[in-house]
């Protein structure tokens, strides 16, 4: 038998045809007389009927009917039959619902054990079980759809870049370890005992070498590997749309990527982003503004609830009678509030009365548990009444009326508003407040718990600082990487005031997720030397770490820059999936294991001996 149609293909116009379908038994309903089978393949479902009285095929239908009664879920079968209209019995929920196939010949390719969960659109099964039987999970329609979306994105991406003169070029996966950035997975070299390759965390250096080599416009859909702890939106191996261009500025990069994203949304979702962004451009927000208003560099601007930094007001009032705030005020007014020291800040978040009214006092108190889980010591709060008094607030008794009114004015508090405060170490305050803002938005129904909720808020976050101060090591470190080009008007600050040096780095943010990031690269050896000096990297250090790139940049490197888009996150947001694991065919658990194959695993002593590797602490149970 040769397949003639797939399971989503037949319509009323096919009535009378003799067809052959292949597929999986999705469900069976045995009525003693007729047996109904829903036959499923990757395209859809068609109802089969096995009627012992089917005319015109001799005794065959009776034998086939007996065989059909034995069919069970997920058996793989071939059926030959006649397409018949269903008349009044049609099923409007199925695209093929107006017909059914009356089978007179049936062949079982393979039986199936009873699957551990139903192969249905919506199942109530733990993710653990789904990952263990991933090949069955992938048989379900939602995952089939998601992987098709990924396929479409791949095809659109390749066509887009090809049309725009980009070359798809490969880079090595097994590379030399370079320090800094994400932790690498290491691969031992059998032929060079005691030495290791690193799995590339990104093709960064190689794509820059392509620019030096004159390829001008490069792209690649490429796997990257990072040995860091996992999250909802982080897997140890993931896919990037990696791009690099010569002779471009930041805006050129933005235009290219905006074109790609508009194209993907149009073709995959049928959404015309021009209706939301008529200029064809995504808005841009300075890094500093993002940190001030949202506490991180990937703001979800589908809703408002901005933070207000009230550090200045608190300092001006000497802490306003609040002991913790006085400590901060004393410290900052003493003049050590530089970026090169641990800084304390005070932030407020005003929940407008109409939203605050939705939360009970108990719910508001539960917020404190939430922030404590993130390292906060507590959550100061105040309800503001019509006279501007603070009620239900531990601060109310201590705070001076002057500071209270100054804060009310600063956060524009009105009757019934709830104001939440965080103060202390800047990094903690920012993290806590950023997460609190999202948490509140979900609790208050401003955004759904997961998914886009029909809103697409894109944003370029631009002009971040080139350096960050590392409190523990007491040194400046590169915020992105050491080859990011600083703004020209910042170059004289490289040595005097490194914290104030802004650079040509950018992140593309969608609904609170960083879906891509990149930079214009530093190709001027003189400026590069100054950057290394600020980072405390000696000439010898630089040579041993990045020698091949520094050498390459000496041989006529064009100005260049690029970006990488997280394919998995893009797919996740586009498909409204709850986690990266739903858009990656074979994902890892939070501990980086594969529940299906049981990777990673121990290897034999012989394999280790060949690699000259001795395991110091054998894993438990090994």
Partner RNA sequence: GGGGUGGUAGUUAAGUUGGUUAUAACGCCGGCCUGUCACGCCGGAGGCCGCGGGUUCGAGUCCCGUCCACCCCGCCA
State which of positions 121-150 bind RNA (CB under 7 A): 124-129, 131
Minimum gap (Å) between residue 96 Cβ and RNA: 10
Minimum gap (Å) between residue 406 Cβ and RNA: 30
Q: What residues from 435 to 464 belong to the interface with RNA (CB under 7 A)?
A: 435
228: contact with RNA by CB under 7 A = yes
Contact (Cβ atoms closer than 8 angstroms) between residue 364 and residue 275 = no
536: contact with RNA by CB under 7 A = no
Which residue's CB is nearer to RNA, number 34 or number 269?
34
- Among 40, 134, 226, 381, contact with RNA (rule: CB under 7 A): 226
Q: Residue 237: CB partners within 8 Å, gap ≥ 6?
A: 223, 224, 225, 588
Q: Which residues of 276-288 are buried (b: 16+ CB within 10 A; e: fewer)?
A: ebeeeebeebebe
Minimum gap (Å) between residue 339 Cβ and RNA: 15
Which residue's CB is nearer to RNA, number 75 or number 277?
75
Which residue's CB is nearer to RNA, number 5 or number 226?
226
- Among 5, 19, 46, 51, contact with RNA (rule: CB under 7 A): 51
Q: How far is CA 332 from the centre of its chain?
A: 38
Q: What residues from 231 to 250 belong to the interface with RNA (CB under 7 A)?
A: 231-234
- Among 9, 17, 36, 490, contact with RNA (rule: CB under 7 A): 36
Q: Residue 13: CB partners within 8 Å, gap ≥ 6?
A: none
User: CA quadruple 602, 604, 609, 611: dihedral positive or negative?
Assistant: negative
- Among 15, 229, 330, 610, contact with RNA (rule: CB under 7 A): 229
Q: What residues from 170 to 189 belong to the interface with RNA (CB under 7 A)?
A: 180-183
550: contact with RNA by CB under 7 A = no
468: contact with RNA by CB under 7 A = yes
Q: Which stretch binds RNA (CB under 7 A): 134-142, 199-207, 413-421, 603-611?
A: 199-207
Q: What residues from 292 to 331 belong to the interface with RNA (CB under 7 A)?
A: none
Which residue's CB is nearer to RNA, number 102 or number 317?
102
**Whole-Å CA distances, 283 to 192, 268, 292, 457, 508:** 51, 22, 17, 9, 10
Phi and psi at residue 55, in whole multiples of 5°?
A: -80, 155
Residues 554-583 as x/- pattern, contact with RNA by CB under 7 A: -------------------------x-x--
Q: Which stretch binds RNA (CB under 7 A): 197-205, 321-329, 486-494, 537-545?
A: 197-205
The pairing of strands 196-199 and 186-188 is: antiparallel
From the list 117, 136, 127, the residue with the least C-alpha distance to 24 is 136
Q: What residues from 58 to 87 belong to the interface with RNA (CB under 7 A)?
A: 72-73, 86
Which residue's CB is nearer to RNA, number 133 or number 277?
133
Q: Residue 163: CB partners within 8 Å, gap ≥ 6?
A: none
Which residue's CB is nearer to RNA, number 319 or number 512?
512
Minimum gap (Å) between residue 209 Cβ and RNA: 14
Q: Which stretch binds RNA (CB under 7 A): 150-158, 415-423, 550-558, 590-598?
A: 590-598
Q: What residues from 87 to 116 belong to the interface with RNA (CB under 7 A)?
A: 89-91, 93-94, 97, 100, 114, 116
Which residue's CB is nearer to RNA, number 98 or number 417?
98
Q: Which stretch binds RNA (CB under 7 A): 206-214, 241-249, 255-263, 473-481?
A: 473-481
500: contact with RNA by CB under 7 A = no
Percent of the chain as helix, strand, coil, to the nearest 5 = 35, 25, 45
d(CA 301, CA 83): 53
Which residue's CB is nearer to RNA, number 136 or number 411?
136
| Strand blocks (E) in 306-413 | 307-309, 344-351, 380-384, 390-391
Phi and psi at residue 567, in whole multiples of 5°?
A: -60, -40
From the list 607, 553, 526, 588, the residue with the least C-alpha distance to 211 is 553
Q: Residue 87: CB partners within 8 Å, gap ≥ 6?
A: none
d(CA 61, CA 68): 10
Q: Which residues of 225-260 are buried (b: 16+ CB within 10 A; e: fewer)?
A: bbeeebeebbbbbbbbbbbbbbebebeebbebbbeb
Minimum gap (Å) between residue 274 Cβ and RNA: 32
From the list 117, 128, 126, 122, the residue with the least C-alpha distance to 142 is 122
Q: What residues from 335 to 374 belong to the interface with RNA (CB under 7 A)?
A: 372-374
Residues in binding contact with RNA, number by CB under 7 A: 72
Torsional class of 375: left (φ above 0), alpha (ψ -120 to 50), beta (otherwise)? left
477: contact with RNA by CB under 7 A = yes
Which residue's CB is nearer to RNA, number 169 or number 436?
436
The pairing of strands 217-225 and 505-510 is: unpaired
Residue 54, exposed/middle/buried by CB under 10 A (0-12, 13-18, 19+)?
Answer: buried
Contact (Cβ atoms closer than 8 angstroms) between residue 559 and residue 523 = yes
600: contact with RNA by CB under 7 A = no
For 123-161, what is the HEC assignment? CCCCHHHHHHCHHHHCCCHHHHHHHHHHHHHHHHHHHHH
Which residue's CB is nearer to RNA, number 220 or number 408?
220
d(CA 472, CA 522): 27
Residues 367-406 as x/- pattern, contact with RNA by CB under 7 A: -----xxxx-------------------------------
d(CA 319, CA 325): 4
Which residue's CB is nearer to RNA, number 187 or number 230?
230
481: contact with RNA by CB under 7 A = yes
Residue 539, exposed/middle/buried by CB under 10 A (0-12, 13-18, 19+)?
Answer: exposed
Minimum gap (Å) between residue 320 Cβ and RNA: 28
31: contact with RNA by CB under 7 A = yes
Which residue's CB is nearer to RNA, number 190 or number 372?
372
Which residue's CB is nearer to RNA, number 374 or number 608?
374
620: contact with RNA by CB under 7 A = yes
Q: Which stretch binds RNA (CB under 7 A): 215-223, 380-388, 476-484, 545-553?
A: 476-484
Minimum gap (Å) between residue 590 Cβ and RNA: 3
- Among 80, 202, 311, 463, contact with RNA (rule: CB under 7 A): 202
Q: Which stretch binds RNA (CB under 7 A): 24-32, 333-341, 399-407, 490-498?
A: 24-32
Minimum gap (Å) between residue 221 Cβ and RNA: 17
In this structure, how many other beta carbons lie within 10 angstroms of the beta carbon of residue 373? 10
Report whether the peptide linkage leading into residue 417 is cis, meaning its omega lies within 30 degrees of zero: no
d(CA 534, CA 496): 9
């Amino acid at each position: 038998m040769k397949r003639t149609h797939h399971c989503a293909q037949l319509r009323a116009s096919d009535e009378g045809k003799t067809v052959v379908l292949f597929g999986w038994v999705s469900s069976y309903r045995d009525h003693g007389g007729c047996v109904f089978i829903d036959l499923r393949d990757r395209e859809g479902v068609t109802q089969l009927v096995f009627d012992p009285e089917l005319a015109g095929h001799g005794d065959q239908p009776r034998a086939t009917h007996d065989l059909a009664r034995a069919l069970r879920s997920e058996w793989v079968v071939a059926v030959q039959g006649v397409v018949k209209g269903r008349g009044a019995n049609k099923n409007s929920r199925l695209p093929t619902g107006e017909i059914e196939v009356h089978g007179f010949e049936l062949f079982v390719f393979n039986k199936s054990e009873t699957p551990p969960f139903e192969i249905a659109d919506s199942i109530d099964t733990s993710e653990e079980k789904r990952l263990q039987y991933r090949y069955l999970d992938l048989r379900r329609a939602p995952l089939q759809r998601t992987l098709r979306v990924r396929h479409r994105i791949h095809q659109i991406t390749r066509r887009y870049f090809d049309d725009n003169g980009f070359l798809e070029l490969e880079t090595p996966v097994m590379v030399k370890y370079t320090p800094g950035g994400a932790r690498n997975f290491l691969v031992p070299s059998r032929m060079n005992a005691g030495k290791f390759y690193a799995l590339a965390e990104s093709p960064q250096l190689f794509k820059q070498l392509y620019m030096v080599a004159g390829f001008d416009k490069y792209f690649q859909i490429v796997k990257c590997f990072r040995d860091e702890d996992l999250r909802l939106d982080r897997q140890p191996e993931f896919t990037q749309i990696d791009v690099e261009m010569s002779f471009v500025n930041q805006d050129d990069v933005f235009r290219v990527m905006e074109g790609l994203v508009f194209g993907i949304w149009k073709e995959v979702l049928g959404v015309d982003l021009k209706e939301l962004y008529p200029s064809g451009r995504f808005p841009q927000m300075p890094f500093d503004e993002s940190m001030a208003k949202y506490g991180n560099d990937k703001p979800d601007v589908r809703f408002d609830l901005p933070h207000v930094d009230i550090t200045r007001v608190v300092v001006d009032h000497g802490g306003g009678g609040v002991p913790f705030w006085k400590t901060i005020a004393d410290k900052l007014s003493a003049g050590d509030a530089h970026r090169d020291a641990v800084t304390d800040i005070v932030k407020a978040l005003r929940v407008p009365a109409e939203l605050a009214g939705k939360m009970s006092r108990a719910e508001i108190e539960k917020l404190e548990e939430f922030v404590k889980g993130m390292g906060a010591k507590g959550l100061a709060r105040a309800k503001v009444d019509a006279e501007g008094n603070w009620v239900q607030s531990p601060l109310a008794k201590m705070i001076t009326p002057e500071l209270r009114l100054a804060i009310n004015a600063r956060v524009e508090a009105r009757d019934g508003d709830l104001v939440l405060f965080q103060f202390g170490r800047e990094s903690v305050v920012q993290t806590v407040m950023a997460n609190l803002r999202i948490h509140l938005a979900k609790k208050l129904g401003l955004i759904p718990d997961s998914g886009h909720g029909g809103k697409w808020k894109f944003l370029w976050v631009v002009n971040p600082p080139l350096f960050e101060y590392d409190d523990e090591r007491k040194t400046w470190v590169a915020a992105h990487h050491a080859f990011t080009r600083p703004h020209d008007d910042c170059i004289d600050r490289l040595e005097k005031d490194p914290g104030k040096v802004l650079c040509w780095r950018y992140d593309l943010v969608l609904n609170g997720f960083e879906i891509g990031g990149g930079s214009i690269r530093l190709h001027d050896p003189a400026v590069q030397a100054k950057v290394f000096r600020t980072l405390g990297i000696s000439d010898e250090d630089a040579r041993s770490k990045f020698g091949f790139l520094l050498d390459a940049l000496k041989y006529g490197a064009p100005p260049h820059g690029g970006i990488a888009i997280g394919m998995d996150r893009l797919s996740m947001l586009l498909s409204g999936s709850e986690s990266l694991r739903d858009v990656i065919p074979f994902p890892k658990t939070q501990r980086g294991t594969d529940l299906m194959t049981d990777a990673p695993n121990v290897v034999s002593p012989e394999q280790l001996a060949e690699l000259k590797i001795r395991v110091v602490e054998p894993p438990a149970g090994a």
